[in-house]
Amino acid sequence: MSDLLDFLKPDETAAQFLARTHVEPISTGLFFATSIRPGQALEICGPSGTAKSEILIQVTATRILSRHWQGLHVGGHSEHIVLYDLDRKFDGIRLYHVLLTRLRNLPGQEQLREDDVNAAAKEAFGRFHLVQCSSSYNLLAALKTADDLLQACEETGRIQILLLDNIAAFYWLDRATTEPPEYAHDTERDIQIGLQQAHACIAAELSKLLKERRLALIATRHSALSAGGFDRMASSYVDTNNDLNLQA
């Protein structure tokens, strides 16, 4: 009888169920995609010079700025942001200037001294984490070890969005690669990991992070059109069931 009663006990309460399944939209601060939900991947693609990296800077500023500062409503979210920079040319100075500009344009900011504005920008900048990768294998290694970084972010705050700048950065490098580097070796199975396997693993790791950490992904991609008008650099990394794609 006791076994039957144990079997009939609920696994969780209604409050626990709602806390586990309710998904709040994540604000991006972008006019064309104001919010994104955990588990979704937003891909922004376009040719060079269409402000794709600038979009990531604006999203970063929205998430890392404080909600309030010295009695003023800043409008940020006081959250951490991790950006994987595959082009290795992310402009940190530009991000800092965006933070300063937003703080200087706050209603009632006249009461703030310049030192206060700089202190608020530096405090927000401390929640920005930049990871630079030089190859597809390097990106895979970074994603494999992302748990430690994400755990550190969650211990001191919150993180809801991953950013990935130009998932097509290694397109030509990968095409020219004849064999995997020495460190691309699966010691458990004693085999070399080829590029196709590496790309599949990158997609799997991204999907895993989005699902297990309840994160959203915003990625940029440089697109190059062939003579027939087709995109030669079709994405091979982002592979989720809830993708959004925007042409810049």
Instruction: Report residue 219's pLDDT band, with 50, 70 and 90 as the boundaries.
Output: very high
Nearest alpha carbon to residue 27 among 60, 57, 51, 68: 60
pTM of the model: 0.80
Tokens 């530096």 -> residue = 122
Confidence of residue 40 (pLDDT cuts 50, 70, 90): very high
Give the model confidence (pLDDT) of 108-154 as tens digits.
777 778 898 999 999 999 999 999 999 999 999 999 999 999 999 99
* pLDDT tier for residue 11 given thresholds of 50, 70 and 90: confident
Give SS3 for 20.
helix
pLDDT digits (tens, 9 = 90+) for 173-215: 887 776 655 555 555 554 456 778 888 999 999 999 999 999 9
Helix (H) and strand (E) counts in the chain: 9, 12
| The listed CATH number (3.30.70.1450, 3.90.1150.10, 3.40.50.620, 3.40.50.300) that belongs to domain 29-247 | 3.40.50.300
